[in-house]
Amino acid sequence: MFRQDLLAGKKILVTGGGTGLGKSIGRRYLELGAHLVICGRRLAVLDATADEFRAELPGARIDTLTCDVRDAEQVEAMMERLWQTGPLDVLVNNAAANFIARTEKLSARAVDAVLNIVLHGSFYCAIAAGRRWIEAGRPGNVISTVSAPVITGQAFTAPSAAAKAGVLAMTRSLAVEWGPKGIRLNCVAPGLFPTPGAWEQLFPPGSQVEAQERGVPLRRLGEHRELCDLYAYLAADGSGYMTGDLIVMDGGRWMQGAGGPTFRAMQDWNDAQWDAMRKK
């Protein structure tokens, strides 16, 4: 779909890039010639991913940095280290956390666990990169992964829906504020793209009422490579006139109803069913 050197010369940070979609996006960036930096809380996971990439793509340039994006000081320290080997060109806010729960049962810490990673983490990373771009008079590019509940809301995952909606508001606010400085920001809302992380948290065994494909008008789940090519496009100079946008790639799922049949069935779960899910 793209020239092999589409992203040559670009340094790209993918937060949460050691697993799941962040890992797939990072691999695609490397294939297209980028210098990739991935961060997350677990160094062993990041290093295993980096080793896998180096074996698959000899000559690939990849760095790993541990960082808990909930902690603004750790984000600053990561950006400082990252900039020492040259400025960043693209930030991908991908790190996130989510779980299903009845909202009235959530503790304050449970709400914070999601908001702090998704909303605060994305803010800290955007500001740390944006300030450096502005001080250096350089252009910048932020791509944030949100989800279709930014449009619809979503039952039983209210903190994630609210936090991701906040990330969209941040994106649109900064697209205007930082546009004159050559910094652009966009959001992508993926639909159902299977990853161990999302499926463990959102669709534990016993929670599904019918095949997930049934809830998607295109009648299939997304393939990582389809999503990754959208992230490649957004990272490339060819998308340079796009900013403040939300691109949904979900096979039409959101228009059919938030969360699909699985989440609708949760409205009728009893205490025993919820307790069984919480213990898993």
Ligand X SMILES: NC(=O)C1=CN([C@@H]2O[C@H](COP(=O)(O)OP(=O)(O)OC[C@H]3O[C@@H](n4cnc5c(N)ncnc54)[C@H](OP(=O)(O)O)[C@@H]3O)[C@@H](O)[C@H]2O)C=CC1
137 forms beta bridges with: none
Q: Is 149 in the site for ligand TC6 (CB under 6 A)?
A: yes
145 binds, among ligand TC6, ligand X, none (CB under 5 to 8 A by kind): ligand X
Q: Which is nearer to ligand X, 145 or 186 (CB)?
A: 145
38 forms beta bridges with: 14, 64
Q: Is 198 in the site for ligand TC6 (CB under 6 A)?
A: yes
Q: Which is nearer to ligand TC6, 13 or 146 (CB)?
A: 146
278 binds, among ligand X, ligand TC6, none (CB under 5 to 8 A by kind): ligand TC6
Single out the residue of 64, 122, 141, 147 in contact with ligand TC6 (rule: CB under 6 A). Answer: 147
Structure tokens at 41: 């809380």
Q: Which is nearer to ligand TC6, 77 or 106 (CB)?
A: 106
Q: Which is nearer to ligand X, 33 or 171 (CB)?
A: 171
Alpha-carbon distance of 116 to 186, in angstroms, equals: 20
Q: Which is nearer to ligand TC6, 180 or 196 (CB)?
A: 196
Q: Is 236 in the site for ligand TC6 (CB under 6 A)?
A: no
DSSP per-residue letters across 127-176: HHHHHHHHHHT--EEEEEE--THHHH--TT-HHHHHHHHHHHHHHHHHHH
The residue whose two tokens read 């989800």 is: 147
Residues that bind ligand X (CB under 6 A): 15-16, 18-22, 40-42, 45, 67-70, 94-98, 117, 121, 145, 147, 190, 192-193, 195, 197-198
User: Would you say 232 and 29 are in contact if contact means Cβ atoms under 8 Å apart?
Assistant: yes
90 forms beta bridges with: 12, 141
189 forms beta bridges with: 248
What is the layout of strands, in order, in the sheet containing 90-93? Answer: 62-66, 35-40, 11-15, 90-93, 140-145, 183-190, 246-249
Structure tokens at 102: 């009845």
The dihedrals phi and psi of 252, each to the nearest 5 degrees, come to 90, 10
The residue whose two tokens read 């025993």 is: 272
Interface of this chain with ligand TC6, residues 75 to 104, rule: CB under 6 A: 96-99, 101
260 binds, among ligand TC6, ligand X, none (CB under 5 to 8 A by kind): none
Q: Is 201 in the site for ligand TC6 (CB under 6 A)?
A: yes
For the CB of residue 95, give the shortest distance to ligand X in the complex, in Å.
4
Q: Is 74 in the site for ligand TC6 (CB under 6 A)?
A: no
Applying CB under 6 A, which residues contact ligand TC6?
Answer: 96-99, 101, 106-107, 109-110, 113-114, 147, 149, 154, 157, 160, 197-198, 201, 278
